[in-house]
Amino acid sequence: MKLDKDIQVAVIGGSGLTALDSFLQLDSHELETPYGATSAPVIEGILADRPIFFIARHGVNHTLAPHKINYRANLWALNQLGVRQIVSTNAVGGIRKDLQAQSIVIPDQLIDYTFKREHSFCADESDNIPHVDFTFPFCNTLRRRIINAANSLDMDIADTGVYGCTEGPRLETAAEILRLEKDGCDLVGMTCMPEAVLARELDISYASVCLVVNRAAGKSEQLISMKEIETCLDEGMKKVFELLQAVVPSLAHLD
């Protein structure tokens, strides 16, 4: 089977989604970029009868910590392959009271607390400094398609939320979560930035599907258990994948 080379859709898989089930793999791309190697080969294939690309953000064996991911290489490679829409999956902690473990959130805003990462393709002196409009960091058209797909599955999701992005790889203190909550954050993760702004610099539409894998620090009487997080990832990512299968056909025709 040959794909139409004007492929426009990509899925970036986060923790718990280093590969796609029911995904017909047709090719694998290891691209050279000006920013070094990608986290993993970019896989080309068919999902829900539509051509897409897939890349595992943390590497094939989940060996890359959030602050060590080469976000610029990943986004540059997808752009080289013609991708115009990206659906990202992200594992997060729930701050807002209703965001319990295994909740799915489609965030509409974010606050960036990272400090060690390359946040732009313009890292050196340049005549073309990309002052991109980042008022709305997630593409609302993509978000609506994902929300509509969830509704078609009768899947209970939160259709708004402010994503607070921390540096990692450690989890946050209770005081830090309290600060994020006062800042207006509903959920906390480590991988949406600089991914979202790099997509914006490349004029690629970007949206996130967040899976809550634990209550954030200080928001539960229990300490955070990595074993419980892993169990939640195993179960919750099944719902995320079901949602991806439902939304990909509509994204393949997005203008």
Structure tokens given for 29: 């791309």
Query: What's the confidence (pLDDT) of residue 124?
Result: 64
Q: Of all residues in the chain, what percent carry a pLDDT higher than 90?
A: 74
How far apart are the C-alpha atoms of 209 and 204, rounded to whole Å?
16
- Give me the chain's average pLDDT, please: 91
Query: The domain at 9-123+132-251 falls in which architecture?
Result: 3-Layer(aba) Sandwich (3.40)
Is pLDDT above 90 for 215?
yes
Confidence of residue 127 (pLDDT cuts 50, 70, 90): low
Q: Which residue has the tokens 């139409």?
A: 4
pLDDT digits (tens, 9 = 90+) for 171-207: 999 999 999 999 999 999 999 999 999 999 999 999 9
Is pLDDT above 90 for 147?
yes
How far apart are the C-alpha atoms of 249 and 15, rounded to whole Å?
24
What is the arithmetic mean of pLDDT over 143-155? Answer: 97
How far from each other are the two terminal CA atoms of the chain, in whole angstroms?
25
Domain edges within the chain: 9-123+132-251
Is pLDDT above 50 for 2?
no
How far apart are the C-alpha atoms of 75 and 93, rounded to whole Å?
25
Query: What's the confidence (pLDDT) of residue 228?
Result: 85
pLDDT digits (tens, 9 = 90+) for 16-57: 676 676 788 889 999 989 999 999 999 999 999 899 999 999
Query: What's the confidence (pLDDT) of residue 230?
Result: 87
Query: What's the confidence (pLDDT) of residue 83?
Result: 96
Read off the DSSP letter of residue 68: G
CB 102 within 8 A of CB 143: no
Q: Which residue has the tokens 């005549």?
A: 127
